[in-house]
Structure 1
Amino acid sequence: MKSIPHIDMSLYGKDFNEFAQHVGQGYESYGFVALTNHGIEQQLIDDALDICRDLFALPEAVKKQYHIPGGGGTRGYTPFGTEIAKDAKHVDLKEFWHVGREIDGEPPFPQLLPNVWPAELPDFKPKILALYEALDALGLRVLEALAVFLQQPRDFFKDKVNFGNSILRPLHYPPIIDEGTPSVRAGAHEDINVLTLLVGSREPGLEVLAKDGTWIPVTIIEGAIICNVGDMLQRLTNDVLPSTTHRVVNPPAPYSHKSRYSIPFFLHFNPDVLITPLASCVSEQNPAKHEPITANDYLLERLREIGLIK
C-alpha cells in the first residue's frame, strides 16, 4: 500500500452502484479511503480549524472550567495527557474538546448529553455545529454505499445512526518540547465507532498500518477528507471491513516545534443498536466471530480500556 484509495464522491449522484463498489472495495482492502469532491466547502473547514486554534489558545485555567470530572470526556474539554491508546504504556500528547449531537427537546437516549460551549468564543458553536452537520450527512452517504456493497437495502444504516452519539473532536497536539519523550501524539490504535471522518490536519504525522506490517504516511490531499472503518463496523461485517490500526507520530523538526490541529468526526450507531454479524458477511470460510452486543455496551467497554472512564 503506497497510499490509501481515493474515492470521488461525485460518483454518488452519477453512478451510485459503481460508487458503492469503489467504496466497499477500498474499505475491504485498506479500511481507509480519502474522499474527494465531497461537497463540503473548504471555507467551512477552514473556519472550524481556525476557531479550534483560538479555543486551545485559551488559558489553561479557562479551558479546565469546561472539563467535567467523571464524565469520561463525553462533552467539553479533556486536558493534555489524559487519553492512552489501548495496551499502551504512555499517555498521548494531546488535548481535545468533544461536541455531540444537538437535540431539540427531550433526547431519545440518555447518552445524548447537552453540549458544553466556551463562553469566551461565541463563534465556536455555529462554526463547529456547521461542520458536525456536514460530516454527519457525508458519513451517511458513505454508509449508503456500504449498505449496497454489503447486500443490504440502501437505507439500511439510516435508522441506526440518526440518533447516534456521534462526536466531533477538535484536537490539539502541542509542540513537542522534549524530543526524547517516550510518548507520541496518538499511539497506535483502532477507532471504536462506525466510521471516522478526519478534517485537517495541515501538518504531517498520520500513519496507517498496512497488511504487510509497514507504516504508510497519509499525505493529506488538498481538500480531501480521510474516512476509515471503526471497530463497530468491523464487528457488524464479521471483519469483512477491517478497522485498520493507525497512529499520529511525532514528526521531525521543524514540524515537531509547531502545534498540530485536526478535527475527527466519530460516527456512532444509536445506543440501542445490536451489533451482530450480518448474514451476508457470514459463510463457511468466514464463520461468525463476534457475540451480539449493543452499541452502548461496546462503547463503555472500550472507553474503560483507553482510560476515559474508570
Structure 2
Amino acid sequence: MAVAQTTGGVLSVPVIDIGPFRSGGEVERDAVAAAVDGAARTVGFMQVVGHGIADRTIDAFVAAMDDFFGQDTGFKAGYRCPPGVNRGYTPPRSEALANSLGLVSAADLFEAFNVGAQARDFPGLDLPPADYPDNVWPQLRGYRDAVTDWFAEAGGVARTMTRIFGRALGLGEDYFTPVTDHSVDVLRTINYRPPPAGTRLEPEQLGMGAHTDYGIVTVLWADPVPGLQILGGDGGWHPVTPAPGALLVNLGDGLARWTNDLWISTMHRVVPPRLDGQLVRRRSAAFFHDGNVDAVISPLPTCVGPDRPARYEPVTVGEHVRAKLAGSRGGALTEGAEREVARLRGGTPG
C-alpha cells in the first residue's frame, strides 16, 4: 500500500468543496473529481465542505451523543453486545484497533456506540444477520431520531463520494452502485473522555490505536480538538484538526484494493487529546460505507496494466471486514495485513 505524502515535513489535507459536484454541470463535476483524485493519490484524506447537511441536524446529533455518553456506566453497559456483533456500546479498554493490523497492542481508551444497516432494511435480499444485525437503541428521548437522521445524511455524503470516485477513476458515476446498493454501513459515535485521576496508562496506550479503515470510504464528524494523527511517508505522525464546517473523508482498505493501491487507505490513530498540556474530552462520529457483503473486491480495469499488475487476490467485502473486526473487537490478530504493518514500521512492500 502507498503512504500519505509530505512536503517539507508537512502533511496537508486539502479542503474540497463538493457543492459544485452536487449541483453543477460537467465542467464543475470534472473539477471536483480531479481534486478528489489528487487527494486520494497523495494523502487518502480530505476535508469536505459543501456537503449540504444542515447545522440543526448536526447540533441535534451531537446533543444525542452527549446525552448517551453522559449516562452512568450501568446504563451504558446495558446496551453492550457480544464482540461478534458490531452494534451497541463498547466500553473503554475493550478494543485494540492495532490488532486489525495483526499487531499486539494495549487496549484503546475510547468508548463508542454503533448502529448500522440491518438485514430488515433490505426486504427480499435474505442478507446474513451476522453482517447486518439489528440495532439496539438507548431509551433516551430523541436519541434514535437524531442518530437516524445523521446516519441518513452521512450516508448521503458517502454515496456522493462514491459517485465522485467513479468519475475520477474514469469508470462513470454509477460504477460503484451495484456493489453498494445494500452496503454494510456502520455509524460509530466515539467519546474520548479523560481517565479518572490516578489512572495508570500502559506504555504507548492510545485513545484509538493505529489502523486503516476497512471499507470504501469513511465520513467523519469530529470536534475541533487535537488527537487525530495521520502517518506520513516520512514515518512521522501528523496532526489533523477539522476545518470549520468540514467533514473529514478518508479512504478504506477496500477502495485501496479496488484501485490497486493507486489510491491510499491512510494509517491513522488518535492520541489522548490534550489542550495546553491537559487531557480533554474529544467526540467524533465515523460513518463507514463498506460495500455489499457479497461484493467482490478485485483491482479495477483502469488501475491495472503491464506496468502495474494486480497486487491483490479477489476477496468479498464480507470476508475482508469480518477478518478486520475479529482483530479489533474479538482480539484475534488479523492475518494478511503485511502491507499495512510495513507502513507502520517504515517500509512499503510492493
Calculate the TM-score normalised by the size of structure 2: 0.83
Match of 1:241 among 256, 260, 263: 263
Quick one: structure 1 residues 186 and 60, their matched pair in 2 at CA, closer, same or farther if it must change by over 3 Å? same
Q: Which residue of 2 aligns with 1:4?
A: 13
Matched, 1:167 2:186: yes
Q: Which residue of 2 aligns with 1:64?
A: 77
Aligned counterparts of 2:133 and 2:18: Cα–Cα separation in 1: 32
Partner deviation per Cα, 1:244-280 (whole Å, 9 max, x = no partner): 1111112335574332111011111010000011111
Contact 1:185–1:249 (Cα < 8 Å) also in 2: yes
Distance 1:68-1:107 versus aligned 2 partners, 3 A rule: farther
Q: Determine the C-alpha separation between the residues in 2 that align with 1:5 and 1:252.
A: 24
**1:217–1:105 CA distance, 2 compared to 1 (3 A):** closer
SS at match of 2:81: coil
Within a 5 Å distance, the mapping from 1:104-123 to structure 2 comes to 104=121, 106=123, 108=125, 109-110=127-128, 111-119=131-139, 121-123=140-142
Give the residue type in structure 2 aligned to 1:212.
Answer: D
Q: Are 2:151 and 1:132 equivalent residues in the alignment?
A: yes
Answer yes or no: is 1:91 the counterpart of 2:115. no
Aligned-pair distance for 1:231?
0.4
After superposing the two structures, state which structure 1 stretch, 165-174 or 212-221, moved more. 212-221
Who is 1:26 aligned against?
39
State the match for 1:74 in structure 2: 86
1:286 aligns with 2:308: yes
2:326 aligns with 304
Q: Which segments of 5 or more consecutive residues in structure 1 lack a partner in the other structure? A: none
Q: Is the partner of 1:169 in helix, strand or coil? A: strand
Question: How many corresponding residue pairs?
Answer: 308
Whether the 8 Å CA contact 1:173–1:185 is kept in 2: the answer is yes
Say which is worse superposed, 264-273 or 1-10, in terms of deviation. 1-10
TM-score (norm 1): 0.94
Distance 1:250 1:258 in 2: 8
Name the residue aligned to 1:265: 287
Q: Give the SS at the match of 1:99.
A: strand
2:232 corresponds in structure 1 to 210
Query: SS where residue 58 of structure 2 aligns?
Result: helix
Matches of residues 170-249 of structure 1 in structure 2 within 5 Å? 170-176=189-195, 177=197, 178=199, 181-182=202-203, 183-249=205-271
CA distance in 2, matches of 1:184, 1:255: 16
Amino acid at match of 1:31: G
The farther-off stretch of 104-113 and 138-147 is 104-113
Q: RMSD in angstroms over aligned alpha carbons? A: 1.8
Conserved 8 A contact 1:202-1:261? no
The letter for the 1-side match of 2:166 is A
1:64-99 superposed Cα distances (whole Å, 9 cap, x missing partner): 1111224x2411111211111231420110111111
Shift of 1:16: 0.7
**How far apart, CA to CA, are the structure 2 residues paired with 1:118 and 1:291?**
41
The one-letter code sitting in structure 1 at the alignment partner of 2:77 is K
**Structure 2 unaligned residues grouped into runs of 5+:** 1-5, 333-350
Q: Deviations over 1:92-115 (max 9, x none)?
A: 101111111254474731222221
Q: Which amino acid aligns with 2:29?
A: F
Contact 1:49 1:200 in 2 (8 A): no
1:9, 1:35 within 8 Å by CA — same for their partners in 2? yes
Deviation string for 1:166-191 (max 9, x for gaps)? 10001011114447542110111111
SS of alignment partner, residue 221 of structure 2: strand
Other structure's SS at 1:165 match: strand
| Distance of 1:139 and 1:67 partners within structure 2 | 27
Higher mean C-alpha deviation, range 125-134 or range 153-162: 153-162
Query: Which whole-Å CA distance do the structure 2 matches of 1:309 and 1:91 have between them?
Result: 10
Assess if the C-alpha contact under 8 Å between 2:227 and 2:274 holds in 1.
Answer: no
Deviates more, 1:260-269 or 1:97-106: 97-106
> For residue 91 of structure 1, what is the amino acid of its counterpart?
A
Question: Which residue in 1 is equivalent to 2:51?
Answer: 38
- The whole-number CA distance in structure 1 between the counterparts of 2:122 and 2:40 is 37
State the SS of the aligned residue for 2:184. Answer: coil
Identity percentage of aligned residues: 31
Q: How far off is 1:36 after superposition? A: 1.1
Which moves more between the two structures, 269-278 or 280-289?
A: 280-289
Deviation, 1:39, is 0.8
